[in-house]
Structure 1
Amino acid sequence: MGIGATFLRLACLVAVARGLQLDTAFVLSQPTTGLSATGKAACLRGKINVTASATNTKLLVKSPTGQPDLTQTIVDMATVGVDYAAMVNGGPRQVFGTYHLYVELCVPADPVAARKVQTLQFLNHGGTLDHTYWDFAAGYSYVDAAAAAGYATFNYDRLGYGLSDHPDPNQVVQAALQREIAHQIVGVLRKAKIGKNRIKNVVGVGHSAGSALIIATVGKYPADFDALIFTGISASVQGVMIAQFAFNLVPASLDPSCRFNGLDKGYLTQGAVAQDFQFPFYHYPDFDPKIFRKQFDTRQTTVFGELLTFSSVVAPQPAYTGPVDVVLGQEDYVFCQANCSYPTDQAQTFVNALFPASRSKSTFLQPKSGHLMAQHYTARDGFEHSLQFLQSNAL
C-alpha cells in the first residue's frame, strides 16, 4: 500500500551537527545525530513507522518449545529426500501492519561533499546480523568508505532484527513482507533532498540474506534501483545447510547473555560457543580476534519465517539491465564451501545466471576472507572494488 498516510512531510530536518539540511518524508522518533566509525560520515538515527501488506506463506511450523524441539526441526529440514519448505507450505496468507524500524541515514561529514551527493546506497544486512555490519569499527566500515567516496547511505535493521520490531517470527517476518517494506522505504528515499539537491540514484546493496532480499525487490519492483551490489551470496547453496548445523542454533531467549529475554522462541541465534560463529563466517587467521569477539558478542537473530520463504521470491532477473556487482569472500563457506573459485568463479557464475542482460557486470573474490567480508583484514579491498564499480558506471 502507499506510504502517504504513513510518513508525513518533515521539511529541513537537521541531519548533521555541521548544519547540513535534509528534506525527507520520514518522521523519526527519538532522533539522534552522530558520526560513523571513523567520522567520515555524519548520521541521523532513529525509528520510523512503515505500514505494509504482503502475501506471505502460511507456514505449518510453530516456534520450538525448547532446544530438543529446535534440533529436531533442523534435522527434519536436512533429511534426504524431503522438501521441507514445500512440506510446511500451507498456502498464501495475507499480512498487514505498521512496524517500527530502526534506521540510519548517513552523508559525508564534509558539508561541501555532502551537498554534492547524487547517489544513495540502500544497505541490507544478513541473517543473525543487524545494521552494525555496515559500520562495525574503524577500518571495518562500509559507511565510512562510501562517505569518503562521496556517497550517502541508508542503513536499517530489517523487521525482526536488532532495534526494530519483533513480530511473529514464523508468520509475519517473511521474505515477501520484507520486500514490501524495502520497497516502501526506497520510494521515500528517491524523493529525499540533501540541501537543495534531490537524490538522483539509489543503489541496492546487500549481504547474504540481505542480497537475497535485494534480488526479490528487483524482481517485483525493477525500477527501485539504478544499480546493484551483491555481497556474500552465490548461485551455490550446498554449504548453507552445513553452515546452519555449524551455527548450533538455539532459541535466542535462552542465550546466556540475556540480550534476547522476552523474545518468542522462534527467534534463533548461534550457540554460545565462539567456534559456532567462526566455522561458517570467518577464515582463520585472516581476522582480528577483537573484531571477531565483538561480532560474536553482538550477534543477532534469524527466523525460519525468512529462511523458508526466500526461495519463493528470489529468482533470475533476465529483464534487469542495470549495472550489477558481485563480491564474494574467497573462502566463504556458506555459499562456496570455502572455495569460491571452484569449479569456476562463483561470483561470475552468479551474475551471469541471475542477471544475463546487465549492461555492466563486475565481480571480485575478496582474498583471505570468509562469509563476513566486512570483518576481515581485507575488508577495504572489497569496499574499494564496489565503490570503483559505481564510479566506473557514473553513479
Structure 2
Amino acid sequence: MRALVWHGIGDIRAETTDDPSIENDHDAIIKVTATAICGSDLHLVNGVVPEMHEGDILGHEFMGEIVETGSAVRKMKVGDRVVVPFTIACGDCFFCDRDLYSLCDNSNRKPEVARQALGHATAGLFGYSHLTGGFAGGQAEYVRVPYADVGPIRIDSDLRDDQVLFLSDIFPTGYMAAENCAIEDGDTVAIWGCGPVGQFAIRSAFMLGAGRVIAIDCVPERLALARDFGGAETIDFSSEDVLERLAEMTGGRGPDRCIDAVGAEAHGHGDKPAVTPEGASKPGDKPDHPDVLAQAIMACRKGGTLSVPGVYAKTVELPFGALMNKGLALRSGQTHVQRYLAPLLKRIENADIDPSAIITHRAGLDEGPELYKAFSEKRDGCIKVFLTP
C-alpha cells in the first residue's frame, strides 16, 4: 500500500509499505477513503516529540470502509463506513469507564516508554510516536484499528467524507477545549491560535454559550477564517500587543476563559510565524516554547479558567505565581474523542456546522510531503489539508 512515512526530522516520504493485517481478534482493517494532516503532526516532523522511529507511518485523522474484522468484533461489520478516533481505547478500564478515553490503561502497547517520560502511560494514539504505542497511522491506504468495537463511529447518512472526517480529532478537540473552560453564558473567551483546532474551538465556545470570542494569530488567512467561519473578533499579534489589546477589549478585567490552541511550537511577539525543524537533530531535541500559555496566564481574569488542547512534550517554564495568586483553574489533555462522536455528528447532521469549510488544500497521498511543507511554513494559504488515498 501507499503511505506517508517518517524518515527523520523534516523528512516525510510517500512510499510503498506492507499492508496491515489482523493481529488481535478485536481488530478491524480499514480501507482509508479520507485522511488529513494535523497541526500536531508538525510536532513529529519538527523534532518536538520523542520516540519517532524511521519507517513510522504518520496520520491520526482518517476514515474509511471496514474491509476485514477479527473474530471478536461484534458491533462493526465489513462494509461499514466509519470515522476512527485518533485515541485508541479498550472501553473497559478504570479510565474508559469514566469516559476518559485518552487516558486508557490498556491500549498503549509500549507503556514503559510513556511511564518514563510522563510518570504514567496514557492511551495509544494512531501515528503519534512510540511514546503512545508506535501504532501505524492513517495517512495510508489501509490501517489496522485495535478495539474496533470501542472506537469507530458508523456513518449511515449521505454526508460527504469531508464533512465528517474531522470527527476523528480536530472537531472534538476544539469542542473539549471549550468545554474544559467551563464557559458560562455571556463569557468572553480568548483563543490563541487560529489553526484548525483553534477554528473549532471558536465555534464550540459559541455553542457552549460564550458571548464573545477573541482569536489571536498573525497569519492573515487564519485570522480571516476566524472571523468568517467562527464569528470571532481578532488580534494580529505581529502588529498589536496582545495583553494590552485584551485589556482594552475587556475593560481591564481580562478574558473570562483562555484557550491555548497552539502548544509547544508557539512563537513570541514578533517572532517568525513559520514552524521549522531547526534546533533538533533527533526526535525530542527541539525545546517546547510555552509563550502562548505564559501569555494566557497573564491575560486571564482573576478566577478564570485556562484550557490547553495544544500539545506539549517536555518541562516548560511558566509564570506559575500568577496562575496561583490569580486563582486560575487549568485543564488540559489529549481529547477523549469517543465521548464526543455521537453528539458532534448530530451537530453536523443538523447543519449546525459544516467542518469542510476549513479545508484549503485537497490532494492525493503522493502529494503529502510537499503539503506538509506548505502547512508547516504557512504558505499558499494552507490551513487544512484533506487527502484521498
Normalised to the residue count of structure 2, the TM-score between the two structures is: 0.28
Greater relative contact order (CA < 8 Å, ≥ 6 in sequence): 2
Normalised to the residue count of structure 1, the TM-score between the two structures is: 0.28
